[in-house]
Structure 1
Amino acid sequence: MKYVSTRGGQSVALTDAMRQGGAPGGGLFVPESLPRVSAGDFSPDLSLSGLARQLLEPFFAGDALEPHLPQLCDGAFDFPVPLTIPDPARPSLRALELFHGPTGAFKDFGTRFLIAALDHLAGDDDPFTVLVATSGDTGGAAAQAAEGRRGIHLAVLYPKGRVSAFQEHQLTCWNDPVRAFRVNGDFDACQTLVKSAFEDAGLSRRHRLTSANSINIVRLLPQIVYLADAALKVWRSSGILPGLIIPSGNLGHGLAALYARAMGFPIGPVVIATNANETLHEWSQTGRYRPRPSVATLANAMDIGAPSNFERLDRLGADQRAMGVERVDDASIRTRIRDDFARSGYIWCPHSAIGAEAWHRLPEAAREQCVWITAATAHPFKFADIVEPLIGQTIHPGPALKAVLGRTTHRQELDPDLNALALALSGDPEQPAGTARRA
Structure 2
Amino acid sequence: MELFLAVGKDKNYRFYNHEYDTKMIYYSLNGKAPNVGLEEAVVRGIAPDKGLYFPEEIKPLPSSFFENIESLSNNEIAFEAIKQFVEGVIPDEALKDIIEDVLSFDFPVVEIEENIGTLELFHGPTMAFKDVGARFMARCLGYFSAQSKKQEPVTVLVATSGDTGGAVARGFLNVEGVDVVILYPTGKVSDIQEKQLTTLGANITALEVDGVFDDCQAMVKTAFLDDEIISKRKLTSANSINIARWIPQLFYFLFAYKQAKSKGKELVFSVPSGNFGNICAGMVAHKLGMPVKHFVASVNSNDIVPEFLKTGVYKPKPSVATISNAMDVGDPSNFIRIQKLFNNDLEALSKKLSSFSYTDQETKEVMQYIYKETGYIADPHGAVGYLGLKDYLKNHPDAYGIFLETAHPVKFLPVVNEVIDAEISIPSQIEQVMHKEKQAIAIKNYDQFKAFLLK
* Range class of TM-score, shorter chain: over 0.9
Residues 84, 137 of structure 1: alpha-carbon distance in 2 compared, 3 angstrom cutoff: same
Question: What are the Cα deviations for residues 221-245 of structure 1, in whole angstroms up to 9, with x where unaligned?
Answer: 110011022123312x033331111
Q: Which runs of 5+ in 1 are unaligned?
A: 429-439
Question: What are the Cα deviations for residues 376-407 of structure 1, in whole angstroms up to 9, with x where unaligned?
Answer: 00000000000012111231121111112133
Structure 1 residue aligned with 2:449: 421
- 1:39 CA displacement: 4.6
Cα contact 2:299–2:327 (8 A) shared by 1: yes
Q: Residue 258 in 1 paired to residue 286 in 2?
A: no
Structure 2 residue aligned with 1:249: 274
2:384 to 354, 359, 364: 354
Q: Residue 45 in 1 paired to residue 71 in 2?
A: yes
Question: What are the Cα deviations for residues 77-126 of structure 1, in whole angstroms up to 9, with x where unaligned?
Answer: 1101111012xxx3211100000111010000011110121122236952
1:153 to 176, 179, 188: 179
Q: Distance in 2 between matches of 1:264 and 1:75?
A: 26
Q: Residue 7 in 1 paired to residue 16 in 2?
A: no
Structure 2 residue aligned with 1:396: 425
2:159 to 125, 130, 133: 133
Q: Percentage identity across aligned positions?
A: 35
Structure 2 residue aligned with 1:167: 193
Cα contact 1:135–1:300 (8 A) shared by 2: yes
AA partner of residue 108 (structure 1) = D
Residues 414, 278 of structure 1: alpha-carbon distance in 2 compared, 3 angstrom cutoff: same
1:75 to 101, 110, 122: 101
Q: Which runs of 5+ in 2 are unaligned?
A: 1-23
Question: What are the Cα deviations for residues 27-76 of structure 1, in whole angstroms up to 9, with x where unaligned?
Answer: 00001111212452254232212211111011111124665211111111
Q: Distance in 2 between matches of 1:238 and 1:38?
A: 22
Structure 2 residue aligned with 1:36: 60
Structure 2 residue aligned with 1:193: 219
Cα contact 2:160–2:182 (8 A) shared by 1: yes
- 1:320 CA displacement: 5.6
SS of structure 2 residue aligned to 1:16: helix
AA partner of residue 382 (structure 2) = S
Q: Which stretch has the larger CA shift, 9-18 or 341-350? A: 9-18
Structure 2 residue aligned with 1:116: 139
SS of structure 2 residue aligned to 1:409: coil
Cα contact 2:69–2:258 (8 A) shared by 1: no
AA partner of residue 309 (structure 2) = S
Trace 1:218-257 onto structure 2 (pairs within 5 A): 218-235=244-261, 237-257=262-282
**TM-score, normalization by structure 2:** 0.89
1:342 to 359, 369, 372: 372
SS of structure 2 residue aligned to 1:192: helix
SS of structure 1 residue aligned to 2:440: strand
Cα contact 1:27–1:311 (8 A) shared by 2: no
Residues 358, 226 of structure 1: alpha-carbon distance in 2 compared, 3 angstrom cutoff: same
SS of structure 1 residue aligned to 2:71: coil
Q: Distance in 2 between matches of 1:37 and 1:260?
A: 10
Cα contact 1:129–1:209 (8 A) shared by 2: yes
Cα contact 2:296–2:392 (8 A) shared by 1: no
Q: Distance in 2 between matches of 1:255 and 1:186?
A: 24
AA partner of residue 421 (structure 2) = G
Q: Residue 22 in 1 paired to residue 46 in 2?
A: yes
Cα contact 2:192–2:430 (8 A) shared by 1: no
AA partner of residue 416 (structure 2) = V
1:409 to 394, 414, 438: 438
Cα contact 1:258–1:320 (8 A) shared by 2: no
Aligned pairs, how many?
421
SS of structure 2 residue aligned to 1:220: helix
Q: Which stretch has the larger CA shift, 77-86 or 32-41? A: 32-41
Question: What are the Cα deviations for residues 290-329 of structure 1, in whole angstroms up to 9, with x where unaligned?
Answer: 1110000010000000111122122222336730001111
Provide the alpha-carbon RMSD of the alignment.
1.6
Structure 2 residue aligned with 1:298: 323
AA partner of residue 351 (structure 1) = H
AA partner of residue 62 (structure 1) = G
Runs of 4+ in structure 1 over 4 Å off: 64-67
**TM-score, normalization by structure 1:** 0.92
Cα contact 2:240–2:277 (8 A) shared by 1: yes
SS of structure 2 residue aligned to 1:96: strand
Q: Distance in 2 between matches of 1:83 and 1:171?
A: 28
Cα contact 2:77–2:254 (8 A) shared by 1: no
Cα contact 1:120–1:151 (8 A) shared by 2: no
Q: Residue 276 in 1 paired to residue 301 in 2?
A: yes
AA partner of residue 448 (structure 2) = A
Structure 1 residue aligned with 2:408: 379
Q: Distance in 2 between matches of 1:335 and 1:38?
A: 44
Cα contact 2:44–2:235 (8 A) shared by 1: yes
Q: Distance in 2 between matches of 1:48 and 1:205?
A: 41
Cα contact 2:339–2:349 (8 A) shared by 1: no
Q: Distance in 2 between matches of 1:175 and 1:125?
A: 22
Residues 363, 85 of structure 1: alpha-carbon distance in 2 compared, 3 angstrom cutoff: closer
